[in-house]
Amino acid sequence: MITLRDIVARLRFPFQLMARPGQRRHLGRWLVSQRPGYLLRAGLPWLTFDAIDALARLDLRGRRVFEYGSGGSTLYWLRRGARVVSVEHDPAWYERVRAAIPPEAPLDYRLVPPEPAPPAPADPADPAAYCSGDPAFAAWRFRRYATQIDAFPEACFDLVLVDGRARPSCLVHAAPRVRPGGTLILDNTERAYYTVRLGSLLSGWTATTYAGAVPGPPVFTETTFYVRGDATNVKIGC
């Protein structure tokens, strides 16, 4: 349901965007993205525009991609020639995305709902908690969801996107599965709790943050690319 507050925010956002010199060039793209269902129809990931532009510079043909959270990004990887494993927790969204994907696409698409758990307090920053920061999921845990990537060998994937639920937990399981020189993408990194409890997990990785506007909502956020450094005694590939 669109509220008056939402309408006012969307009317103000173009002026806020134009007030940021580095973001002005995205005004037209943001306006186009206001169309209903835009991301899925356009086949674009829900990342900052600058992060999307950075992805466009990568050669994804034949690359192996794993993503937590499906949608326009799933179509994006496939259209760029990647082989994809995608994990989704929402049954209705899963069906909607699956309907948009050709049956012959090189996609391993997994519906993995959360498991019920006692509504005891849990810290969403704790990777061992497997919980979401969304209060709507206070009585649910995402262990099966986060551990789907464990079925694959270490250093298996060229790119992993963490843009779903229980992101600190997903990061812990995902990082070892990124090949040396590969990329781990974490969305909404302005939320410091995603990485505050990860210790040295991403030490030795090169981080580049793309801050700015995103398609759709009238918000500024951050997407960070972590590129894994060289690793010895790591067998690359699945």
Domain map of the chain by residue range? 37-228
Superfamily of segment(s) 37-228: Vaccinia Virus protein VP39 (3.40.50.150)
Say which DSSP state 71 is in: S
Determine if the pTM surpasses 0.75: yes
pLDDT per residue as tens, the chain (238 positions): 678 888 999 999 999 999 999 999 999 999 999 999 999 999 999 999 999 999 999 999 999 999 999 999 999 999 999 999 999 999 999 999 999 999 999 999 999 999 999 877 899 999 999 999 999 999 999 999 999 999 999 999 999 999 999 999 999 999 999 999 999 999 999 999 999 999 999 999 999 999 999 999 999 999 999 999 965 445 556 7
Instruction: List b or e across 148-186, with b for residues whose CB sees 16 or more CB atoms inside 10 angstroms.
Output: bbeeeebbbbbbbbbbbbbbbbbbbbbbbbbbeebbbbb
